[in-house]
Amino acid sequence: MQTLPTFPPAVTVDDAGRMRFEGLLCSALAEQYGTPAYVYSAPAIRANYQAMDQALGRRLTSPYEIFYAYKGNSCPAVCKVLHNAGAGAEVVSLGELHQALLLGVPPRRIVFNNVVKTDEELDYAIRAGIGLIVIDSESELEAIERIAGRLGRVAAVAFRVRPFVRAGFHKHVSTGHEETKFGFSAEALEDVARRAAACRHVRVRGLHTHIGSQNCDPDKLLEAADVVFNLTRRFREGFGFPVDLVDLGGGMGIQNEDLMRVAFDFDALARGVEERLTAAFAPSARPAIYFEPNRILVADASILLGRVVSLKQDVGKRFVGVDIGYSTFVRCMLYGAFHDLRNVDDPCPDHPVPCEVIGPLCESGDVLGANLPLPEPKVGDVVALLDAGAYGYAQASHYNSRPRPVEVLVDGGKTFVVRHRETLADVLGRFEIPAHLQGGYAGA
Ligand SMILES: Cc1ncc(COP(=O)(O)O)c(C=O)c1O
């Protein structure tokens, strides 16, 4: 059977052996809000942000900024908790950019990333005067020059660098190696920098890299920092660009290769960045350092509550069917990610039995765990999938025509619905049947 990791700080077990989230009984939360339900802890999110911020602040003498990467969890209330704590926003689409502005993030504290950006997105970003657009293709540079020129603006940009560093737990989240679609190699950057030097509506403020997600090794980020700091010098000396910032991306992990919980070593990261800055730049010439984390801030601050709906014993296995499918939570299916899952009324059973916990979708890959130790399961049991806060709801879909779940925030011991459970009207509400196809069912 799978060995299970420890619980994150927001999850506790009371004297009666029941699971609580921020002190609230998980079974009561499931009763009140139904299942599936994402539940987020505002105090845990704030604590994660402060831990990162303080560790960086203790070591870094250069200015640094943390931009919360919306892509992993763009629930507006979650974003607001982080903005109120001091984070800017890193956004990857028109929708996310619009949301950041709606939430009151000052434009200069928004970084717009993404490998492919449309003219519509660039036009919106330039009009809004956002702090940084991270360029990922030659044609994007041309589009920005054209659009900013038409608007009579100068756009602040960075170039995304592919530093040839491999990091991340799965090939789909490793984004800094030789073959990835992201960023420019050092060689390609020479040409694009020459083109940028001829642009009148572009100001090259920085270089950016993001090497992958769920990376627990600070040295990988430092390897990438070495490459980008060298290029920063080349950009300044060779092309005369100001380059006053370097964005080292996100990707800090919470789970090691043995699937155990780990605390990312921000102290080692900050110490390493500081040493490299000292070696590479005169004190007055140090760039500011940007970070764009998602997972490390929100992953362990959430549980996803579900309910056992069906049981079956066959081929020597106990199949436990729950109402969490990959339309609700796709990471186990998409990346083979491991997520701890417990029965909330008996989270640490004395006599666990191995269970294959399966979702309701018509897909053989819709399995949350093949060999999870649960107490003897019963229909109606409430389960909690842990560390659900990053890339959970954000990747939920309507697959199999299923509405997306409710999102609930716990703060100050109180609960708030921060996004309502969808209904079938949300799933089915926007279709049309052409007039000539209406009526006339042939199978009656
Ligand atoms: C460019 C960029 N920045 C930041 C992030 C956030 O990564 P993580 O959630 O691993 O911190 C991602 C995620 O893939 C990304 O692509």
Q: What would the mean pLDDT of 58-84 be, rounded to a whole number?
A: 97
Q: What is the CA(19)–ligand 1 centre distance, in A?
A: 31
Cα–Cα distance measured from residue 437 to residue 344, given in angstroms and rounded to the nearest whole number: 49
Give the position, in ligand 1's atom list, of the atom nearest the Cα of 391.
9
Decide whether any atom of ligand 1 lies within 6 Å of the 251 Cβ.
yes
Q: What is the CA(211)–ligand 1 centre distance, in A?
A: 9
Q: What would the mean pLDDT of 243-250 be, rounded to a whole number?
A: 97
Task: Read off the pLDDT of residues 160-208 as tens digits, 9 standing for 90 and up.
Answer: 999 878 776 666 666 777 778 889 998 999 999 999 999 999 999 999 9
The yes-or-no verdict on residue 106 having pLDDT over 70 is yes
Catalytic residue, chosen from 216, 332, 355, 362, is 362
Q: What would the mean pLDDT of 327-343 be, rounded to a whole number?
A: 94
In this structure, what token pair is assigned to residue 390?
Answer: 């990053």
Q: What is the CA(250)–ligand 1 centre distance, in A?
A: 5
Nearby residues of 328 by Cβ (< 8 Å), 6 or more positions away: 36, 304, 306, 359, 396, 402, 404, 405
Average pLDDT across the chain, whole number: 95
Q: Which of 68, 71, 132, 295 to mutate to test the pocket of ligand 1 (most atoms within 8 A of CB)?
A: 71
Confidence of residue 80 (pLDDT cuts 50, 70, 90): very high
In this structure, what token pair is assigned to residue 223?
Answer: 């390897």
In 3D, which of 252, 349, 205 has the Cα closest to residue 51?
A: 252
Cα–Cα distance measured from residue 24 to residue 429, given in angstroms and rounded to the nearest whole number: 35
Residue 199 appears among annotated catalytic residues: no
The yes-or-no verdict on residue 129 having pLDDT over 70 is yes
In this structure, what token pair is assigned to residue 425?
Answer: 């009207």
Contact by Cβ (8 Å): 259, 332: no
Q: What would the mean pLDDT of 81-103 be, rounded to a whole number?
A: 98
Give the position, in ligand 1's atom list, of the atom nearest the Cα of 295.
9
Q: Whose Cα sits closest to atom 12 in ligand 1?
A: 250
Confidence of residue 444 (pLDDT cuts 50, 70, 90): low
How many CB atoms are closer than 10 A to CB 431?
6
For residue 168, the model assigns a pLDDT of: 65
The yes-or-no verdict on residue 440 having pLDDT over 90 is no
Nearby residues of 179 by Cβ (< 8 Å), 6 or more positions away: none
Decide whether any atom of ligand 1 lies within 6 Å of the 134 Cβ.
no
Q: What is the CA(209)–ligand 1 centre distance, in A?
A: 10
Decide whether any atom of ligand 1 lies within 6 Å of the 210 Cβ.
yes
- Percent pLDDT > 70 in the chain is 98
Decide whether any atom of ligand 1 lies within 6 Å of the 292 Cβ.
yes
For residue 227, the model assigns a pLDDT of: 95
Task: Read off the pLDDT of residues 374-386 as tens digits, 9 standing for 90 and up.
Answer: 999 999 999 999 9
For residue 386, the model assigns a pLDDT of: 98
Q: Which of 73, 78, 210, 216 to mutate to test the pocket of ligand 1 (most atoms within 8 A of CB)?
A: 210
In 3D, which of 368, 304, 420, 298 has the Cα closest to residue 21?
A: 304
Axis-axis angle for helices 76-85, 42-59 (nearest 10): 40
Beta strands at 406-411 and 414-419: parallel, antiparallel or unpaired: antiparallel
For residue 169, the model assigns a pLDDT of: 63
Give the position, in ligand 1's atom list, of the atom nearest the Cα of 250.
11
For residue 257, the model assigns a pLDDT of: 85
Q: Whose Cα sits closest to atom 5 in ligand 1?
A: 250
Task: Read off the pLDDT of residues 259-308 as tens digits, 9 standing for 90 and up.
Answer: 899 999 999 999 999 999 999 999 999 999 999 999 999 999 999 999 99
The yes-or-no verdict on residue 366 having pLDDT over 90 is yes
Decide whether any atom of ligand 1 lies within 6 Å of the 168 Cβ.
no
Q: What is the CA(188)–ligand 1 centre distance, in A?
A: 23
Q: What is the CA(10)–ligand 1 centre distance, in A?
A: 23
The yes-or-no verdict on residue 405 having pLDDT over 90 is yes
Q: Whose Cα sits closest to atom 1 in ligand 1?
A: 210
Decide whether any atom of ligand 1 lies within 6 Å of the 113 Cβ.
yes
In this structure, what token pair is assigned to residue 326?
Answer: 């990959």
In this structure, what token pair is assigned to residue 175?
Answer: 């984004």
Contact by Cβ (8 Å): 115, 92: no
Q: Which domains does the chain have, with CATH numbers?
A: 11-41+299-428 (2.40.37.10), 42-296 (3.20.20.10)
In this structure, what token pair is assigned to residue 414?
Answer: 């109180």
